Chains A and B, each alone.
Chain A
């Protein structure tokens, strides 16, 4: 575990030290101790009650939606110059709490103090005036405006009624330099990378004078390198006197950057711990409420005949460019095949071709020896395919449909869900209730819109829908993207369960850990072809990495393995 030498003044460390000293005296000389206690009493009490200078205090916050308590008596105190992580599962109430702080919701109970003064944050404008800035998970930028234009939007500096963007650009450049953000004020948003767009969001809050920055799951859409850059920026912000609340469910990030962690679970505050005194396992247990295993438990695979087999498959993307170039692959009964590869090497096109969402240019795909090449989507589904799609909002769910309707999306057209052209919504509801219960989908009920669910619960709903149909072949494309450890564990268990039932599972993931942990065989895709197939126990991340980069022959260790 990493120690933070630059971090001083943390409550517990200091007061324990003080206590130890006192204890020493106590055993030796009662009288001196008496005087000492009298002398130190004030200081001790002070230290206990106010160990840090808090810039934000959210005390006993309760936020209720109808009968549902999204936040139940949560306390969060942000010290000055601190990176304070807010940890919780998907749907635990992290975002709700931050929306309370940002003035988007009004709490039913509790109070908020900024710099020790009680405040009433009625709108985001009030929050801005108090120096609170939010870096949203989904960037709120106008694509075809420049960085500067985006930053001054709604707050334009004017000279005789004309926007003075030059002065603004200068200020933007200055701030960018101070914090090492490296942003060109004149670049257009559509031309810059996701990581830089995020830095523009950070700049926006700084430009408006924020001293307290809230980062809502900032690493969700970043590459590993961009994550490292972001961590550097956060540290720089702290040294410049800012304070940060980091909302996340990624434990490693918390260990890397935060000073303290406040954990919430199912809307309730579990407590605050000092990062240097904890470890990822403990945090996971606090967050989920039970022991979590990081290494997936599974027995040996018992593969049998091929379920999915792909021969010389060629698929083109929407521009007509070949993305899958003569690919061969098979997935057998009773095994999980992981597809490892860097994003954009033909994975999406491959899955879409199998699922019938994209036309096949040439080659052959069979499921259970039945040729399904370019059949209609429904025909393929009926041939025994379950498909957890890569993009849950685009393909996986009709967000404006209820949870119940979505639960029936693959089966609505046949009995018992519909008969003679009429829907039987009572059966649909029953099915939805079953999925909600078995797959622990946290929702207010089957009538709630899918849109209102958190990402993890939307994913669980999709997985419930696909797995409960018990398909011979289950394609899981990035099934755990954006999910917390508890949900990831749950989903991995379900995939292995399907395998042990003798089904074929095809897992596509960009996370090497996941592919290594869950798969029985790993097929590595590069530039539209399978470059090699390896066994997880016989390979290393390094070897996989090289294969993914396309160094097939050079890096290959050991004998040939058939594809």
Chain B
């Protein structure tokens, strides 16, 4: 077995193992795993509508994953993606509704507003970390709560006491009749292209630019970076700002694409937290994030079909999905096992 074969085999085996253990759980709870998995499959790939919705679900996951991965690569742990995403969502929905501009200005403006809002939410922990050495994990977690309640208050304010912002102008919408028609009137929108573009942007910043060189250097070794004349504090702040901007754009996927408005949030969306897992599944690389987000997005959306088509309760579905993700995250163990097997074969 060559390394390449192992690389492809590992995720495949992980998913199969997850499915098997998930099946056992369904069996023991008295449900038909075969019917369950057929329902899951149909929920993801069953028809063009399902495919459209799945892709739509993947877009914010990609951006949330990028946000976490970018911070990770530059030595920071951004748990505040959830909050950054929420303020981004609100900013995009507000700008989308409040202004009347031609589309080629309005849409970029609304996206930019989302990115800036997310960046601002990243700036605070960045500054605190750089100047006072306050750990970013603590600040970003707390900033999530601040975001949740500030956003809810703002929704009330801008909508004049309502629980929902106004519908965005069509000039700010990411929705596309073409994509929608293509996928049997799903809510698929142009957001996926924004997300994929950002994948390239992240790769470009890290691998091609001088800023990326500095960000990575500071992430690995602040002392040596200081020694070589880099501005360590500036780079810490910049890292959080860029990370926050990615998260903010993730919010715009919801604000300008899926929902076209923002409703009062009873709690966290969960996308930001799932972004941590997405980044880890993708080994913090831009391409890996696409893989992680695809897995998360499709399972999340496809699972909705399991209660309907196979009458498996939502709780069991959650367990099954969690198991699959668990096994993928354990890919390392499977790789070690495969390599052992390989060695034994060679020895014979």
Contact = CB atoms under 8 A, between A and B. Distances in A.
A418 interface: yes
Contacts of B226: 357, 377, 395
A376 B231 CA distance: 9
Contacts of B229: 376-379, 381, 410, 413
Interface string A121-133: 0000000000000
Range of interface residues on A (Cβ < 8 Å): 20 to 34
Interface of B: 208-213, 216-217, 220-221, 223-230
A397 B224 contact: yes
A353 interface: no
A409 B211 contact: no
A421 B224 contact: no
B221 A421 contact: no
B212 A398 contact: no
B217 A398 contact: yes
B314 to A, nearest CB: 43
Given A378-B229, A410-B229, A423-B208, A405 B224 contact: no
14 contacts: A376-B229, A377-B227, A387-B227, A395-B227, A398-B221, A400-B221, A409-B228, A410-B229, A412-B213, A413-B210, A421-B209, A421-B210, A422-B209, A423-B212
B227 A423 contact: no
B57 to A, nearest CB: 35
A422 B208 contact: yes
A398 to B, nearest CB: 5
Contact of B224 (A376, A379, A396, A413): A396
A401 interface: yes
A423 B212 CA distance: 9
Nearest to A381: B229
Contacts of A409: 217, 224, 228
A284 B7 CA distance: 47
A389 interface: yes
A399 B220 contact: yes
Which one of A355, A378, A396, A398 has the greatest number of beta carbons of chain B within 10 Å?
A398
Interface string A219-263: 000000000000000000000000000000000000000000000
A418 B210 contact: yes
Given A376-B229, A378-B229, A381-B229, A398 B224 contact: yes
Nearest to B224: A398
A394 interface: yes
Given A394-B224, A422-B208, 7 more contacts: A355-B227, A398-B221, A399-B221, A400-B221, A401-B216, A412-B228, A413-B210
Given A355-B227, A357-B226, A376-B229, A423 B209 contact: yes
Contacts of B216: 401
Nearest to B75: A400
Contacts of A381: 228-229
A413 B217 CA distance: 13
Contacts of B224: 394-398, 409
